[in-house]
Structure 1
Amino acid sequence: MTILSSWVEIACDESGFSGTNLLDPASPVITHASVDLALPAAAEVVAVLRSRFRSRSEYKSNQLLRPEQRSALEWFLTTLRGHAHVHVIDKTRYVAARVLELFTGEPSYGDGTSLARDHSDAVLALQRRTGFLAAFVDLTRTKRVRLIDHVAIERFFTTMPSDVPELDAVTRAQVEDVVLRLIDDDPAIPPPLEPLVPALAETVLFWSAGQRSVAVVHDEQSALTPGRMARLATYLAEAVAPAPPPLLSVTQVDSKHDPRVQVADLLAGIARRRSPELVELLEPYLQTCADRKSSQV
């Protein structure tokens, strides 16, 4: 990626978001795709694909993944080279990391990103403890909840593994305090079951590259509230200072009206369903949070 100016506008969409059902084995990852195409260039990509499908309506990646559309798929991925990026989130790994970030330190908008504390060994151990992770999800699913669910807290501690040292100091009082803050919708705590927030942070950090700010155009997502985006922008600016503030703005649009978001949607869907024969074509675009952490070592 070549830095050409002090700011860049990108368009984003995701694939694989399943609400708070983050442990569904049938949908193990979320992909968050972004492109820096200008509107005319994105419209041309969409027009070419529509001409192949003879369709006037919006279409999805599963159509482009059909065997008979292999040439169109290869053309699409080749055309985007140098103008696109995909951040991949393993949902189970994400949930395991959030347990540690939420209850072993002060939660922040760096949680779930490469800027967070490194809990790699503990996360690896927790990924296999699906019963404990399910208990954590139930405990932190606090939307429209007004009182602490003591049964959920008991299940969380009953299923907590004893061989993960990072969890040894976690107390019931501490957990209750954090859960109360979640129930009260404490704006200082990013929503633990909303991976789109850290996914957007990682996307912005990629395009910013420590040298410019990023204006985001995003498909409409309820998780990306103005308040959360303002807090995320502040956190990222402080984390990378004296580099330019990474997140300049977030504008949500209906994907039907923005070809750049349609292109991002297609790329996200293709990356989420990537098959062995597509690995080489997709490799230039893909990045996980672990990739960013290793690049910073």
Structure 2
Amino acid sequence: MSGDPADGERGGAAGPFLEVACDESGSDGENLTGGNTDVFAHAGVSLPVTTAAAAVREIRDRIRSPAEEYKANHLLREKHRAVLEWLLAPEGPIHGQARVHLMEKRYFVVDRAVSLLLGDPAEAVALFRVGRRTFGENGWRAFLEAANHLLRVRHDGDPVADFHGTADALRRAHPGTEAARILGRLAAARPRAEAYRAGFLDGPPLIPLLNPLLPAIVRTAVLWSGDGRPVRLVHDRQNMLTPDRIAWIEEAARQAGVDLAGVRLVVARDDARVQVADFLAGIARKIASDELNGRGDPALTALLRPYVDPASVWGDVRSRALLAAPVAGRW
């Protein structure tokens, strides 16, 4: 790599572009209700290579861990709190040049299931906000797991029967509630669920409905498209990012009005900008998860807030309000 592509003077006749380095945290593939994390985060940074490398060196100098590769967990340790605050602070090295898109996984499952079966995102919001209170912790977990099972590509048993059996049992147990009304609409949409599963007979879909990575990458491209220059994404290598899926990302971004100059895959340890994006994604995922579970740290949440995409996929109203407050500037 020659020069500093993040400064934009690349692209030949196409003119300068903005290069944004990306990474994620919290990916469990399509297992969004039984994985190790409850939040998915996708971060992008527009730092010049030299600035990112200097930030990584500074983090290493301050933490002094013998680890060959630093991760967000190093920064999240209480003994390194000062380093974490330095990184996120308004005077820090990434402020104004980094952004993170968050997805609350449980809400993502509900949104995808209800949108598929009803084509009505508003009903997904309504069900998510009353489901746990109506069905109780165990009933709500059973519904989420059944919805996840219905939508994921890899499955066993009969996911349509399992989903509708679970939904019907909850509806009968809680008649007259708003949640039961929505489950009644889902029951009437069983043919759509059958058609969705029948579509897999010809092989798995190119774009899995439940995998949050691909739409998050598109959203990242949209976030960085506001200064009039084409955007090129540099992303950590992922098995999910096949040539066909990258082509889909590029087309989806262009349909969203983004002049996307391509997606380039790199090994994270070879690009300091991607390492910084990895830090931010992991930090944001942890801070957001803490807020979601009622153990948020107000100081860290306030430091993270300017980086959070206001269009993050977030069903929990309180946490969303704390995390994604409007910010000034191009965002």
The structural deviation recorded for 1:126 is 5.0
Q: For residues 10-52 of structure 1, give each alpha carbon's deviation from its aligned partner in whole angstroms, at most 9, with x where no partner exists.
A: 1111111123321148621111111001111111111111222
More off after superposition, 59-68 vs 260-269:
59-68
- Structure 2 residue aligned with 1:184: 202
> C-alpha displacement at 1:6, in angstroms?
6.5
Would the aligned equivalents of 1:10 and 1:216 in 2 still touch at CA under 8 Å? Answer: yes
Note if contact 1:213-1:248 (Cα within 8 Å) is conserved in structure 2: yes
Work out which of the residue numbers 236, 248, 253 in structure 1 matches 2:266: 253
1:281 Cα deviation after fit: 0.9
The alpha carbon displacement at 1:201 in A equals 1.7
The percent identity for this pair of structures is 36
Matched, 1:16 2:38: no
Is 1:58 the counterpart of 2:69? The answer is: yes
Matches within 5 A, 1:64-213: 64-77=75-88, 78-105=92-119, 118=122, 119-125=124-130, 129-143=140-154, 151-160=158-167, 161=171, 162-164=180-182, 167=186, 169-171=188-190, 173-185=191-203, 187=205, 190-209=207-226, 211-213=228-230
Number of residue equivalences = 271
Please, which runs of 5 or more residues in structure 2 have no aligned partner?
Answer: 1-7, 9-14, 134-139, 172-179, 288-295, 315-319, 327-331
TM-score by length of 1: 0.80
8 A Cα contact 1:210 1:246, kept in partner = no
Bigger-Rg structure (1/2): 2
Structure 1 segments unaligned to the other structure (5+ residues): 106-115
Provide Cα deviations, 1:91-121, integer angstroms capped at 9, x if missing partner.
000000110232334xxxxxxxxxx955432
Q: Which amino acid aligns with 1:174?
A: R
Cα-Cα RMSD: 2.9
Partners of 1:9 and 1:214 within 8 A in 2: yes
More helix by share: 2
3-state SS in 2 of match to 1:270: helix
Which structure has more RCO (C-alpha within 8 Å, separation ≥ 6)? 1
Residues 141 and 238 from structure 1, CA distance in 2 versus in 1: closer, same or farther, beyond 3 angstroms?
A: closer
Q: Letter of the aligned partner of 2:235 in structure 1?
A: H
Query: Is the counterpart of residue 268 in structure 1 residue 281 in structure 2?
Result: yes
> Greater CA deviation, 222-231 or 192-201?
222-231
Measure, in 1, the Cα distance between the counterparts of 2:125 and 2:227: 24
- Superposition deviation, residue 179 in structure 1: 1.2
Output the CA distance in 2 between the equivalents of 1:50 and 1:222: 29
**Is 2:104–2:313's contact at 8 Å kept on the other side of the alignment?**
no
> Structure 2 length as normaliser, TM-score?
0.72
1-side partners of 2:47 and 2:78: how far apart? 27
Question: Shift of the alpha carbon at 1:122?
Answer: 3.8
- Name the amino acid aligned to 1:81: H
The one-letter code of the counterpart of 1:152 is: P
Q: How far is 1:151 from its partner?
A: 2.7
